Amino acid sequence: MGKKAKRNKGNNVEILQSDVVPLLELKYGAPLFSFAAHPTKPIIASGLANGYVFVTQYDPALLSIFSYDQKEKLAQLGENDTKEKKKLKIWKVEEISKDHEPDQKTIDHLWKTKRHKGSVRSLCFNASGDEIFSVGSDNVIKKAHSETGKVIKKVEIKNNKSPITKILKSTTHPILVLGDESGNVRVYDSDTLKEKNFISNIHEDSVNSIVQIVHKSAYQFVSVGSTTLSVWDVRKDKATVTSENQEDEVLSVAYVDPAQGDTIACGMGEGIVTIWKQSKNNLEDQISRVKIAKDESIDSIISTMNNDDCVWAGASNGIISKINTKKGQVIETRTHSLNDEVSFLDLDYEYRLISAGMDKLKIWNLDDDDDDDEELDGDDFSDSSDEGKDEEEEFTGFSDEINKISDEENAWEDVDNDDDEEEKEEKKSGVSRLDLESEPEPEVKQPKSKKPKLSTKQLNNLQKHQHGIRKFDDL
């Protein structure tokens, strides 16, 4: 893979601008509030501010052919054809909107529908990819077939006054968790969509990101929000670990190696990625930090899944950085946008990087795909238009010992599967990352019970770096 070396004088670190270019770019007619990559197929689900969900299939082989043809056109342009070179993109660009049909040779909508009243706040696939879950500003959770879009079940979130920020389906068990803007977590049975637990005030502000502790327990998750990182169990009524006050908003979280599960990377509001190790201090505080972008925020982060101790981090300045967490260095950068933040990062079924902001999504070529193009100048392709046990804890169902959600019913009792009314939506056809194997990890200790108050500096920082869908008060 060809890269151009640049010098970052502030950090005295060699920053490598990658020559890897996108394979596909999707431009949205309404703000993108959430997206999810299918775990085993070339499919992207997009949730928009207008309530629409698009499930789009792409063909990597045909897109590669298209890119090759575009490179041939670029090579034929003369030295004086500067404007033409800037206009010509060597990757496919497609509009995604309710009134536009894509080029069906390389991409196609499996289905699209007005899924929620208001906006789509968050969505996710299950581990096999045959089901898709979404939640909207209408406080409704919907489970649908990813092949057709047909709604299987739906439920209204009761007594909810705080908008949902995240929804996550366990990759191994029938657990669905949701975080909201008040720092609360709701737990649902993903089969029945019955609410099983409510954990209040995990964070003092919005739940910004959630990851599952796959290697350790069926019940445990890590979330970040406000100025803390928390570990919690879906059967308990409070966090089992709450970190020290970081004096900076924690915006994003990911395991560096989800299968091994010891090291965590977090994106911070002041342009830093912090590194955490469960084996060092039980995640009570960061152990190191990597400076990425001064006066910017790190809104998204994800493992490279390449056994290289690296993560991808997306910043509010539109730059994606590849960070070696052991060396504490940025080793590669890519430009997602010149005028939009990198709000979301994911990997597709073949581990291609996917970056997205409010107006566009890019699926990037694999490094190997670009090895033959190192002689081409990357500037020609720039985006100029824009607590468990030592052994793994076995899942035995939802515990009957959990506190009741209300006085009227015990949320952990077995319930009958009521037949929810299925919605009739527009549909076509379509749907498939395999579950990570579990590994043991040391026991998690109880946290300190008292949470520190936010300082003036922290409050100012929260306001300065407010990001993503929280900018849209009415959506």
Residue 382 sits at φ, ψ, to 5 deg, of: -65, 155
- Going 373 to 378 to 379 to 382, the CA torsion angle's sign is positive
Burial class of residue 460 in the structure, from the number of CB atoms within 10 Å of its CB (0-12 exposed, 13-18 middle, 19+ buried): exposed
Q: 187 has which bridge partners?
A: 177, 197
Q: What is d(CA 36, CA 46) in angstroms, rounded to the nearest whole number?
A: 7
pLDDT-wise least confident of 130-144, 325-339, 452-466? 452-466
Six token digits for residue 408: 């009227």
All structural domains of the chain, each given as residue ranges with its CATH number in brackets, are 3-471 (2.130.10.10)
Q: What is d(CA 265, CA 290) in angstroms, rounded to the nearest whole number?
A: 10
Q: What is d(CA 6, CA 175) in angstroms, rounded to the nearest whole number?
A: 46
Q: What is d(CA 132, CA 123) in angstroms, rounded to the nearest whole number?
A: 7
Residue 341: CA count within 13 A, CB half-sphere: 22
DSSP structure class, residue 365 = P
pLDDT in tens, 33-53: 999 999 999 999 999 999 999
pLDDT in tens, 80-110: 777 776 778 899 999 999 888 888 889 999 9
pLDDT-wise least confident of 308-322, 334-348, 367-381? 367-381
Burial class of residue 216 in the structure, from the number of CB atoms within 10 Å of its CB (0-12 exposed, 13-18 middle, 19+ buried): buried
Would the pLDDT of 190 be above 80? yes
- Say if residues 121 and 136 touch (Cβ distance below 8 Å): yes
Q: What is d(CA 305, CA 347) in angstroms, rounded to the nearest whole number?
A: 9
Q: What is d(CA 81, CA 60) in angstroms, rounded to the nearest whole number?
A: 29
Residue appearing with tokens 């099983």: 196
Q: What is d(CA 151, CA 425) in angstroms, rounded to the nearest whole number?
A: 8
Residue 200 vs residues 26, 183, 205, 232, 238: alpha-carbon distances, Å: 37, 7, 11, 11, 7
Number of neighbouring beta carbons within 10 Å of residue 255: 25
User: pLDDT grade, residue 136 (50/70/90)?
Assistant: very high
CA angle 196, 197, 199 (to 5 degrees): 165
Report pLDDT for 461: 52
212-217 average pLDDT score:
87
Six token digits for residue 150: 């047909």
Q: What is d(CA 109, CA 120) in angstroms, rounded to the nearest whole number?
A: 18
CA angle 365, 371, 374 (to 5 degrees): 105
- Say if residues 15 and 330 touch (Cβ distance below 8 Å): yes
Q: What is d(CA 31, CA 28) in angstroms, rounded to the nearest whole number?
A: 7
pLDDT-wise least confident of 120-124, 266-270, 290-294, 397-401? 397-401
DSSP structure class, residue 266 = E
CA 116 to chain centroid, in Å, comes to 20
pLDDT-wise least confident of 137-141, 301-305, 390-394? 390-394
